[in-house]
Structures are given as C-alpha cells and as structure tokens.
Structure 1
C-alpha cells in the first residue's frame, strides 16, 4: 500500500509596512495585525519620517522590527526594499500604513499559494465608497493594450481572479519571485505611483501567476498625502511620467505598449485642448468667469499630461541603465 505524502509545511510570512509621518495610522495598522487568525512570523515597519514619533509607536508592539529609510519622503519602493531585505520568510506581504487588515487577511492570502506557479497574491482594499464591491468586477488589475492600468481592487467577483498587477496597500509575493527579479526597484518619485505595479509586472513577465482574492480584505483609509492631494495636477504629472518609466523598464523603451501609451496620452491632451476651446466659444452663454475657468482647466490639465509623458522618457532611459548595471552586478556576484 502506497504511503501518503507528507503534508506540506505551512508557509512562513513576513509583513512590511512603509510609512512617512503617520504614527497614528501605524498604530492602528499594527493593532489590526496583532489580531490576525494566522500570525505573521515577522513584522517590519520602515519609517521615512523626519522625527521619532513612529519609532515610539513601534516600541509599544513587542517583536515588531523598526527600520529607518534615510531617503525621506516619496521613497516608498526604497522602503519596501529595506523591509524585504530584512526578511527570510517564504512570503513577503506589504501593507500601507493606512490599511487595516481584517482578522483573516493573512490566512486568506497564504491559502492561495497552493500552486508553485503563483508568484503573488493580493486582496481587496475597501475605501468606504458605496457600490465599490460591484464596480469594475470584469476589469480588476489589468494592463490594457494601450498601457493603462485598471484598478478596481475593492471589487468582489465572488471568486479569485488572475491579474496583471496588484495594489500596494494589500499585496504579497513569494520571496523567491522577488529574488528572481533582483529585488524592488525605485525611481518612482513624487507620488510613487506605479512602484507596486513595477514589482508585480516584472514578476508576471517571468511567467509567474498573480492572483487577486476578494477574501483577503483591508479597510483602506487613505491618509493625507505628504505633499499635494490625490488626483491634483501633481498626481496627473507623475501618473504619466511614472507610467512611461514603468512600461519602458518592464517591456523595453521601444515596446509597442509604450508607443500605444503615448498615443493614448496624446488623445487625452487633444481632448483637454478641445475642452478649452469650447469654453472660449461659450463665453456669452456661460459668462466670462466660468468660461475662463474652463479654458484654464483644459489648458492646464493637457499641459500637465504632456509634460509628464515628455519627462518620462529621459527618466526611463536612466532607470533602464541603472537596471542593467544592477543585473550585471548580480550576474558577477553569482
């Protein structure tokens, strides 16, 4: 009679939290982690703040490790890399400091690593928006042919879904998959938009599956931005600049998806300019104040989109050169 195979050993897991100037949010985040049905083997808080408030909070949680990121504001991927480098566990999970994990969050993430082909698993981030569990059910975490990324990471399709990228507020990866791609890359300044997509898309490009499960839930209570506001002009600039960098370093600067992204951005600029022109023509109907506001809004937004795309190309070339140098150094050390 054949012997039954030994059951697989449970996966070990570390949780990394990158933070800047949000000690109260870090406390809430750690409080929720302390109540997990499956406790993480290691928790690391990486702090870019200019003061010691967050460090004092971490001291209230025995066993939680604290690390400094001296690079300061706008360096989330570098903080993730610092935290990742301190781990030895099978799975490395990442939480934003303003994400409060539900009690079975980690248990649900780990349960999805039932196949060696799965390189990463992410979950839902609920923002308290009515209808968000139904919105975008058919387009969660996709890289579209024109280079744009869909989100919809609050949606609940009722089952797990294979995706192209994951949300940084609630994602995890096999440590071996992160090692395979050479770690976590920086060069996503400003709002740090697209930094988590870089990690996910590079792992996906190596042939690993990425899975989104609506069962691994965090309440995402976005804190104040270190500078500016979400969806302001600064946000739009870096969304376009960092998208060019992301697509270029993952697929190559001459990749068709990069060209398609530029065409899509150009159409967006044309739309904004037409909006400005319509505002100018409607001055008699809507009055000068509203017309001027429409004209300036269209011109400003179109200019910001164009500036972001233009700035993205030299930044992408620099990032690709640094990536190649890093890969050469890794091969030399191997």
Structure 2
C-alpha cells in the first residue's frame, strides 16, 4: 500500500524539521509527504527553500485560509496514497510508524482508520502514565481521550487524536474536515467530528499504542494558548465538541447529553457541578470557564439546529 503523510504547519520551522527528519528514517519509506503552508508564513517558506529532502518525496500545498481544517482539506485534495497518515509539525513519528500502520490496514479491509499513542514531552520530561480506556464516547455524550496514555493491545475505538491518525483513502474518498469547526488555528475537536462521521459509515477505527509518535507541544499562534485560559478559545472548544456530538448521538441521547453537559460536564467543558467543585481552587477563572462552556453549548446547538443535523457534507 502506498503511504501519504500529511502535515499542516504554521510558523514552527524547527519543529517541522524534526518531523521531516523522522519521516526520512522510516523503515517503510513514505511515498508522498504533503506539507500545507500558509501563504503568509515567511518563516516556514524560508526553511523549506533551504531544506534538502534527500529521499523524501516532498510536496508543498499553499493555503490561504487560517485554521487546521482548511489546511487539511487542501492537503487531502492532493493525496495519492492508499493510506493518508496525519500528524502535527511538532511531532516526530517513531521509526516503524508507517510499517505498523500499513500492517493494520492490510490485516482487515474493514479498517477505515488507525491511530496510536503520542508520547507527550514537556521540555525534557515525558508525561508518563497509562490507561486502557482510550478514545471512547460514552452513551450519554462524555468523551474519554487518553490517547497519550494508552497501553495494551490494539482495539476498536470511537475517536482518534489529530497528532496521530491514519485513514484508508477509500474510506474517506468523499469526506472533508468540517468547516464549521470554530477557531483560527487549532480548531480543537476537528478530529472528533471527522472520526465519528467515519464511524457512522460503518468503518472500524483502531487504536494501537505501538503506533507511536513523540509529541513536543509547541506554541500556537491563535487564541488557544494551551495552558492559559482564553474565553474565546474555551467557547470555540465547547462549540466544536457540542456540534460533533449532537450529530452523532441519537435523539434520546442528545436530550440526556444536554442535561448532563449543563449540570455536570467535565474539567474541559464545565457544567454547574464541575464549577462548584473547582471554584474553591480556581475562583473567578472557574466562573469564566462555566460561562464560556454554557455559551459554547448554546452556540453548538445553534449551529446544529441551523444545519438541521445533516452532519459533514459528503460530495
């Protein structure tokens, strides 16, 4: 099977260099590497003009719109491989990444997507831990990620993580990343909307902890700054999550989800009980998070209602 690797990048040339060097070292050579670059990203263009790809079949796709969704959709249009593997510019795939991905797709024609663990580095320190529960959507709408902590055997999941996800191109031939995802850069939960749509189409989604990348979370150049609170970024995150879940859940599940989300919620998307629990430690920030979460839920519901629950467009 021919392998295409798709990397969206923006103003992180040193990280991109590490990623490309890791792809050069793969035990199964990559057949096509697509890097999507914003037209205004002078730092990346300068780096690429001086980069020597050697045996790497590098293809640059120019993007004029902000956001990871536009970048990925532009990249998908140029894919020639039987498998497209998506990773971030601040990640470095392990040497056998493509070999193990390909083996999964060859083992079962019903597998539409394969993902794995991202080993997260905070400086020189690796974020350690383990979990056997990864990438699951519970019946009432709570999402369990833990992709960076996964251990155990390969198994079916509901959701993959954007830094380490691969797709059979036949399975996503008419599928695009959802342009309704909000945000000017990261557009958090874009992969949730995509993989849940694939799941609804009947394809198997596999998570294998041994399909691994090293992940060095780098600076973002939008409102989402990872460790610091921003009400716009928080609202966008909850909007995107809400929209993706409303389109995937049944009518009964949607009703339960709305009540659960408003009154309970999670540490990432606050409900009233989470606010009460965390207010003693976070104070006014907890209140701002609750307000942003409720606003995001409402906006997600509005977007869903406007589209009448049609989901991602298959054209």
Task: Give the superposition deviation at 1:69.
Answer: 1.3
1:17 matches 2:12: no
| Structure 2 partner of 1:121 | 114
TM-score, reference length from structure 1: 0.81
Per-residue CA shift, 1:103-141, capped at 9, x if unaligned? 11111111111111100101110013789664322x100
CA drift of 1:81 comes to 1.2
The runs of 5 or more residues in structure 1 that have no matched partner are 1-10, 280-289
Alpha-carbon separation, structure 2, partners of 1:40 and 1:244: 36
Structure 1 residue aligned with 2:304: 316
Secondary structure of 1:16 counterpart: strand
Partner in structure 2 of residue 44 of structure 1: 34
Shift of 1:304: 1.4
* 1:124-173 deviations in Å (ceiling 9; x for gaps): 10013789664322x10001122122111123433111111111101100
Cα deviations across residues 9-54 of structure 1 (Å, max 9, x unaligned)? Answer: xx11100001122111111111111111111100000013623221
What are structure 2's unaligned runs of at least 5 residues?
A: 265-270
Shift of 1:320: 5.4
Partner of 1:7: none
- Please say which of residues 168-177 and 123-132 is displaced more in the overlay: 123-132
Aligned to 1:179: 173
What are the superposed Cα offsets for residues 310-331 of structure 1, whole Å, 9 maximum, x if unpaired?
A: 111222234557858x54xx3x
Which one has the largest radius of gyration? 1
Q: What is the number of equivalent residue pairs in this alignment?
A: 297
Mapped to 2, the partners of 1:131 and 1:45 lie a distance apart of 27
More strand by share: 2
RMSD in angstroms over aligned alpha carbons? 2.5
Give yes or no for contact 1:48–1:71 (8 Å, CA) kept in 2. Answer: yes
Partners of 2:161 and 2:155 lie apart in 1 by 14
Runs of 4+ in 1 over 6 A off after TM superposition: none
Q: 1:27 to 1:108 in 2, by over 3 A?
A: same
Would you tell me which structure has more helix in proportion to its own residues? Answer: 1
Distance 1:210 1:303 in 2: 34
Q: Does 1:55 align with 2:49?
A: no
TM-score of the two chains, using structure 2 as the length reference = 0.85
Taking the aligned partners of 2:42 and 2:286, their CA distance within structure 1 comes to 43
Pick one of 264, 288, 299 that aligns with 1:300: 288
Distance in 2 separating the partners of 1:256 and 1:230? 34
- Equivalent residue number for residue 145 of structure 1: 139
Whole-Å separation in 1 of the counterparts to 2:126 and 2:216? 17
Query: Do residues 69 (structure 1) and 66 (structure 2) align?
Result: no
